[in-house]
Structure 1
């Protein structure tokens, strides 16, 4: 039974990848990218677990079967004919957008600089708390500045946008290289790829995309070694990094199994045994954790705002730095019906894509910042994208409102023409 569901899982992932290869723009869409992260991060972890005698009986087959259902929901919830969201229909003044980009970039760069001055053992491969969390929270502003500048530059070459991009890239590369952040690296690539797709119709060749997926699959599983080195030295020690045996690490993962899927198996098994669900309280608690600062309101008040969660199994002790996968928290919330989280996420992402493709610059920004945390709903937790949306709602939305072009109403024909010229002709 274990190997049957393993092969079914492989077939499901390959179908998602094949679906993305059929049309060139699909490589930027949610179902294909879910297939990519599952292929690179989840699949290599499961062969070594299929015959693991120390896992709970039936736990492996149950978890893999539920994962297949979640992947299917990511495809079923996506609609190629989705309607754009009407509330993204805003026109913008390019001058104000560049001013906002500059402000976001300067503010975010300052906090990235503050973060980079901290010792590596406080920021690399650890659960951050205190000042590093605050610095990272506001450093996110630089991502907004970068994305706005890239979209402006893709639409119309501008020295101002190019300057902002150049400066921001320095901080981006520092963050990626020093801390080995895979999510930031993927977000940076997607930022440029999507911007030039939306405005110039450029698409990364599918052969290069697949080559990147294979290379990423091999390298991803050596990131813990990379981070261990950078944490010890507070910077990359290239001689030590060159000694990392990528092939041996990958082979060991295939044979021994991965910790993330092991965590998921235990979490799902325990939930099935106790039938104790959180019914979505997990998401509320994560929002409180991320947006209520204990330094200001106090730990007691912050804890009082959180809802009581089901108790973890006594024999469950995940390794520090590992995740439990989004399948585990979805199952913990609503049993097998938790797969509907992925159906809803895919539906929202399809409408975001439709809005972005129609030329709405605000939707393009939201899609750029949503796609990476959305696919991490598979590998990490389903709350990541919600956390990002709340951050954008608090900080990005007011800024975009200031950048709006509030021209008086004119004839609909010229209004449509103005919309096309102002920001984003439909592709």
Structure 2
């Protein structure tokens, strides 16, 4: 039975990837990207777990069956008749947008600089605490500045946009190289390819996407070695990095399984046995954790705001630095009905996509910065996109509000681009 569901999981993933490769613009859409992250991060972990005699009886099948259901929900939620979000259609002055981009980039760069001064043993592959958490929180501003500048540059080449992008890349690439952050690396690529898709209809060749999937799958299993090197030396030592045995690491992953899916299997099994659910309160706790600073309000107040969640099994002891996958927290919330979390997430991201392709600049920025957190609903937790959206609501929306064009001067089509430059994508509805 284990191997039957393993093959069904593979079929579901290949179905999503195949769907995405059928049309060129689909490689930027959520279902395809869900297939990609599942193929590269989840699938290599499960063959060994399917043959693991020490896992609780039936736990593997329950988890894989639920994972397949979640993948299906990601595709169903990508509704063909989804309508754009009307509230995201605003008109902006490009000059003001670039000023906003510059201010956000400079602010974010300052906090990225402070993070870069930390020694590797407290900043690479560890759970941060104290002031660095606040620095990382505000460093997010640079992503907003870079996305706005990239969108402006894709529409019309300008020196100001190019200078902002160049400055942001210095700090972005430093963080990617030093800390080995996969999410930042993928987000950086997403910002630029989506900016040129929304403004110029440029698409990365699908062959490159396939090559990227394979390379990403092989490199994923060696990221811990890379981070060990940068953590010990507060930066990359290229001689040591060149000696990382990527093939051997990937082979070991296939033979021994991965900790993330093992965590998920144990969480799903414990929840199914106890039938104790959090009914979505997990998301409330994550919002409190991220947006109520203990340095200001105190640990006691912050703890009092959090809801009590079901306790984990005594035998459950995940390795530090590993995730549990979004399937685990979805199952913990609503049993098998937790797959509806992925349906809702996919539907919201779909409406963002439709809005962005209808020319809504705000939707384009939000989609560019949301797609990677949305993908992490599979590999990490389902709260990532929500946390990012709240951050945008607090900080990005007011900044964009200042750059809005007065209603009396708004063009018939409300977007960054003029009517003559606006790129619409009828094919994007697929």
TM-score range, shorter chain: over 0.9
**Does the CA-based 8 Å contact 1:361-1:424 persist in structure 2?**
no
Say whether 1:25 aligns with 2:25. yes
User: For 1:115 and 1:275, how far apart are their aligned partners in 2?
Assistant: 42
User: For 1:95 and 1:155, how far apart are their aligned partners in 2?
Assistant: 13
**Does the CA-based 8 Å contact 2:93-2:416 persist in structure 1?**
no
Within 5 A, what are the aligned runs for 1:155-234? 155-234=155-234
Paired residues in the alignment total 424
Match of 1:239 in 2: 239
SS in 2 for 1:408: helix
User: For 1:257 and 1:58, how far apart are their aligned partners in 2?
Assistant: 17
Match of 2:428 in 1: none
Say whether 1:94 aligns with 2:91. no
Structure 2: runs of 5 or more not aligned? 426-430
Match of 1:259 in 2: 259
Match of 1:415 in 2: 412
- How far is 1:415 from its partner? 1.9
User: For 2:14 and 2:414, how far apart are their aligned partners in 1?
Assistant: 42
Say whether 1:426 aligns with 2:427. no
| TM-score normalised by structure 1 residue count | 0.98
User: For 2:86 and 2:339, how far apart are their aligned partners in 1?
Assistant: 28
**Does the CA-based 8 Å contact 2:201-2:423 persist in structure 1?**
no
- How far is 1:416 from its partner? 3.3
Match of 1:116 in 2: 116
User: For 1:284 and 1:407, how far apart are their aligned partners in 2?
Assistant: 37
User: For 1:153 and 1:268, how far apart are their aligned partners in 2?
Assistant: 46
**Does the CA-based 8 Å contact 1:84-1:355 persist in structure 2?**
yes
Match of 1:8 in 2: 8
- How far is 1:426 from its partner? 2.4
SS in 1 for 2:118: coil
User: For 1:56 and 1:192, how far apart are their aligned partners in 2?
Assistant: 45
SS in 2 for 1:279: coil
User: For 1:219 and 1:256, how far apart are their aligned partners in 2?
Assistant: 17
After superposition, give the CA deviation of every residue in 1:299-336 in whole Å (9 maximum; x if it has no partner).
00000000001001001000000000000000000000
- How far is 1:132 from its partner? 1.1
Match of 2:316 in 1: 316
Change in Cα spacing, 1:117 to 1:420, as seen in structure 2 (3 Å) is closer
- How far is 1:291 from its partner? 0.5
SS in 2 for 1:57: coil
| TM-score normalised by structure 2 residue count | 0.97
Match of 2:152 in 1: 152
Match of 2:401 in 1: 401
Match of 1:333 in 2: 333
User: For 1:417 and 1:336, how far apart are their aligned partners in 2?
Assistant: 42
Match of 2:50 in 1: 50
**Does the CA-based 8 Å contact 2:89-2:415 persist in structure 1?**
no
Change in Cα spacing, 1:280 to 1:212, as seen in structure 2 (3 Å) is same
After superposition, give the CA deviation of every residue in 1:265-294 in whole Å (9 maximum; x if it has no partner).
000000011100000010000000000000
**Does the CA-based 8 Å contact 1:30-1:375 persist in structure 2?**
yes
Structure 1: runs of 5 or more not aligned? none
User: For 1:235 and 1:220, how far apart are their aligned partners in 2?
Assistant: 19
**Does the CA-based 8 Å contact 1:360-1:424 persist in structure 2?**
no
**Does the CA-based 8 Å contact 2:90-2:414 persist in structure 1?**
no
User: For 1:399 and 1:419, how far apart are their aligned partners in 2?
Assistant: 15
Match of 2:292 in 1: 292
Moved over 4 A (4+): 417-420
After superposition, give the CA deviation of every residue in 1:106-136 in whole Å (9 maximum; x if it has no partner).
0000000000001111110001111111110
Say whether 1:360 aligns with 2:321. no
Change in Cα spacing, 1:420 to 1:169, as seen in structure 2 (3 Å) is closer
SS in 2 for 1:416: coil
User: For 2:325 and 2:414, how far apart are their aligned partners in 1?
Assistant: 46
Say whether 1:66 aligns with 2:55. no
User: For 2:414 and 2:8, how far apart are their aligned partners in 1?
Assistant: 50
**Does the CA-based 8 Å contact 2:115-2:136 persist in structure 1?**
yes
- How far is 1:70 from its partner? 0.2
User: For 1:401 and 1:136, how far apart are their aligned partners in 2?
Assistant: 24
